[in-house]
Structure 1
Amino acid sequence: MLNVHKVNRSLILPYSSAEMYDLANNVAAYHEFLPWCSGSAVLERDEACAIARIDVSYKGMKSSFTTRNELNPNQQIYLSLVEGPFSALEGKWLFDPLDEVACRVSLAVAFSFSSRLIEKTMAPVFTHICGDLIDAFAGRAEQVYGERRFA
């Protein structure tokens, strides 16, 4: 059995849970601000779910994966694998409001790869990407909503 890799991060940000949810749910814009994302698209969408594809290009590695994103607006996005180099991929974004203008954003991701060769080459890349994801979204929030500080 191949290893299950886990990444858990959270960050308190001076943006509302609705603002941060909107950024995470806007998969089509990921390629605009995530340096490792060479393409992103929403393939299907309704009120409760989106099917999204992300193309990864990082340090010479290229891959893509598709997830089913179950949407709980302004609160949570649950990700599960549809297609890609993984044997399993699950993730959860949580957006916990602290007040009207601040929230805790948490991301928990667990993944394993479909072969040892893919795991050897992709595990360090994907672990790094997941680890830096919340910081990238914090930077995107500053771009989109303006710089904010805690009072």
Structure 2
Amino acid sequence: MPRHSEKRNLPYSPEEMFDLVADVGRYQEFLPWVAATRIRSNSDTLMIADLVVGFRSLKETFTSRVEKQRPRHITVDYVEGPLKYLKNDWEFTPDGKGGTDIDFCVDFAFKSRIFETIAGQMFDRALRRMIAAFEERAHALYGDASSATGMSRSRAQSAA
């Protein structure tokens, strides 16, 4: 049952980071292993979305309920699919210097032992790629973050 918490600091506002994370419909454009997305419903405070995720020939669709409290918090809860459960929390706090302290936590388990085994073997690598993808997307959308990337990596390493 993979579980991971991480803290990062990025030079973008909480509103910008919230908007990036809440834009689930564009995840397939930048997140590894996300093949497709479908937004079933969306409002300022709640979204129901399907994601098709896969690795090699294994592909699965799962549905999530995304609760949004702009610009501070996003909570993702599992609705249906190949998981036993999924809980994902994002918290965006102004750092007082124009950037954002981001607290991220994900906890999930697969129903399938095959997926659970694969996830266990690849979890750290996959998580690093996904976190890097969010940071790269922020850079592409909002500008240069080269000075903050080093800071965020050093904070993440010291928090480990």
* 1:104 aligned partner: 101
CA offset at residue 73 of structure 1? 0.5
CA offset at residue 140 of structure 1? 0.3
Report how many residues are paired. Answer: 147
Q: Counterparts of 1:1-150 in structure 2 under 5 Å? A: 4-99=1-96, 101-125=98-122, 128-148=125-145, 149=147
Unaligned 5+ runs, structure 2: 149-160
Contact kept in structure 2, 1:67 and 1:82, CA below 8 Å: yes
CA offset at residue 127 of structure 1? 5.3
Contact kept in structure 2, 1:92 and 1:108, CA below 8 Å: yes
CA offset at residue 31 of structure 1? 0.7
Identity %: 31
Q: Which has the higher helix share?
A: 2
Q: Which has the higher strand share?
A: 1
Question: Are residues 135 and 105 of structure 1, via their aligned partners in 2, closer, same or farther at CA, if it must alter by over 3 Å?
Answer: farther
Contact kept in structure 1, 2:38 and 2:50, CA below 8 Å: yes
**Once the two structures are superposed, what CA deviation does each residue of 1:49-91 show, in whole Å capped at 9, x if it has no partner?**
1011111122333122111011111111111101111111111
Unaligned 5+ runs, structure 1: none
**TM-score, length-scaled by structure 2:** 0.82
CA offset at residue 125 of structure 1? 4.6
**TM-score, length-scaled by structure 1:** 0.86
Moved more, 23-32 or 52-61: 52-61
